[in-house]
Amino acid sequence: MTGLYWLNSGRSKVCSRLPIVSRSSHCSARMSSPIDDLCPLSPAYGDHAPAPPTQALRGDRRADVAIVGAGYTGLSTALHLAERGIRATVAEAKEIGWGASGRNFGQVVPYLKHGPAEVLAHFGREAGERLIEETGKGPDLVFGLIDKYAIDCALRRTGLIFAAHSDAGRAAIERRTEFWQARGAPVDMVTGADAHALIGSDYYDACALERRGGTINPLAYARGLAKAAIALGVEICTGSPVTSLARAGKEWHVTTPGGSVTADAVVLATNAYMTDRLWPGLRDSIIPVRLYQAVSRPLGENVRRTVLPQGQPLTDTRRLVSGVRLYADGRMHVSADGPAFDNSGDADLSKVARRLERIFPRVGPLDWVHRWAGWIAMTTDQYPRLHELAPGLWTGFGYSGRGIAHATMMGRDIAARVAGAVDATKLVFPMTQPRPSLVTRVAPPLIRSLVVYYRMRDAFDDARHRRARARS
């Protein structure tokens, strides 16, 4: 879910390894559990994303692979297994796309959270280069599946706008743009009057136009993957929380309240909704973070023509949330601040209104008709994780706000690995062993302090930006 900005602008090494989240004035050392979050899926997505018929798991059955979780990771795994003729059964506690897969900002991004130099330093030349190159192709994988299976998910392949709100932000965008241009990627720096025309605002004087990306209805994409998988023979059982996981010989047994699945392999694809019940200690590998979205009524016809007129979404180099989209029907969608660890929290739309007034003054007051929240899984270094926890037991998680492309890639690669079709050293995301960290349990107060600091930095940058504009 967009709302966490990309950490590639050369900040301190300590801060660059910690998640940057939305406003946390309600944070406490006690973290709410995503599993207990009752926030429903939003009609903003759901009204345009019919779910395929499913039912709860009843009775016992055999499958080649059992998958826990029907989000992007689980659905992509199931679909890619089915394409290889491998039968999978998916057990989902709630409904298809219940987690971040059905709640995110809808932006398909060809980047990791870190810049290329940081990725190479972290993984080394060979693995780092492969990771950079393949994540750059992530949107093509998503869009290819949409085309192949005729998934109706409001796809707009108009690209992405990354705007600079400060000199440091501009330098970071320029570095990244130059890196990808040298590799022949369709990304350009846009400045001055051209940037103003592209964004529909003179607030930003420089931005990158990344043409590989785009936007979708994320819930419709998840449910489209599910429909495609079902058509290829995958069984998806909703309302079927997995209560136990056990191994007997070479087989795995997955149990739900209504039945069980015996399989040769299991994939845990629960991401932020991970618990220690199925694999003790794994929960300490992530920091679940709650992010917020809101959608307005349609803007007036004259105004909507001037805001993001070519259809790209806008994010900028602020340290906190910054996403803005304009739907084809004129509705405005924003990522909003809100309590990062509180299931009862709500979006701070007053802050959104002040920001939009500065960027798009012609828009005026907005009537927010939909607002919702959802949980993403952060890791301490903001890189995704791929583990083989035991022979035949796989998990992938921790997309840190980039899950549409990265989770789809993860599912594809897990499927290939389960099928024995790819060597572990050739996977996009390096296969590692879990390294639970106590920092995940004390994250709320730590992040609260960081957010206060980053909010102050953003306010300072905003004030300096306004002074510079006033002088020009």
DSSP single-letter state for residue 281: T
Neighbours of 125 (CB within 10 A): 9
- pLDDT 10s digits, 194-204: 999 999 999 99
Residue 318: per-residue pLDDT: 82
What is the CB neighbour count within 10 angstroms for residue 330? 16
End-to-end CA distance of the chain: 35
- Report pLDDT digits (tens) over 288-307: 999 999 999 999 999 999 99
Q: How far is CA 176 from the centre of its chain?
A: 20
pLDDT at 34 over 50: yes
- How far is Cα 322 from Cα 107, in angstroms, rounded to an integer? 12
Q: Angle CA(11)–CA(15)–CA(17) in degrees, nearest 5?
A: 110
Average pLDDT over residues 276-281: 93
- Assign 112 to helix, strand or coil: coil
Q: How do residues 428-455 score in pLDDT, each as one tens digit?
A: 999 999 987 776 766 667 766 666 676 6
Alpha-carbon distance of 114 to 72, in angstroms, equals 22
Beta pairing partners, 315:
162
Q: Write down the pLDDT at residue 211.
A: 99
Mean pLDDT, the chain, rounded, equals 90
| Confidence check: pLDDT of 229 > 80 | yes
Q: Are 335 and 31 in contact (CB under 8 A)?
A: no
Domains of the chain (ranges, CATH numbers): 17-156+212-288+373-440 (3.50.50.60)
Q: Going by C-beta distance under 8 Å and a sequence separation of 6 or more, which residues neighbour residue 126?
A: none
Stated pTM of the model: 0.92
Per-residue pLDDT at 18: 34
pLDDT of residue 338: 84
What pLDDT, in 10s, does the model give residues 174-193?
999 999 999 999 999 999 99
Using CA atoms of 426, 429, 434, 439 in order, give the dihedral in degrees to the nearest 10: 150
pLDDT at 16: 34
Q: Quick: pLDDT tens for 135-164.
A: 999 999 999 999 999 999 999 999 999 999
Phi-psi region of 281 (alpha: psi -120 to 50; beta: other; left: phi over 0): left
Question: pLDDT digits over 3-14, tens only?
Answer: 443 333 333 333
The two most distant CA atoms of the chain are separated, in Å, by: 73
Check if the beta carbon of residue 32 is closer than 8 Å to that of residue 343: yes
Q: What are the start-end ranges of the E strands in 192-309?
A: 206-210, 214-215, 235-237, 244-248, 251-256, 259-268, 287-298
Question: What is d(CA 379, CA 288) in angstroms, rounded to the nearest whole number?
Answer: 9
The whole-number average pLDDT for the span 351-362 is 94
Does pLDDT of 28 surpass 60? no
State the Cα–Cα distance between residues 332 and 360, nearest whole angstrom. Answer: 12
Is 22's pLDDT higher than 50? no
Residue of higher predicted confidence among 128 and 338: 128
pLDDT at 319: 67
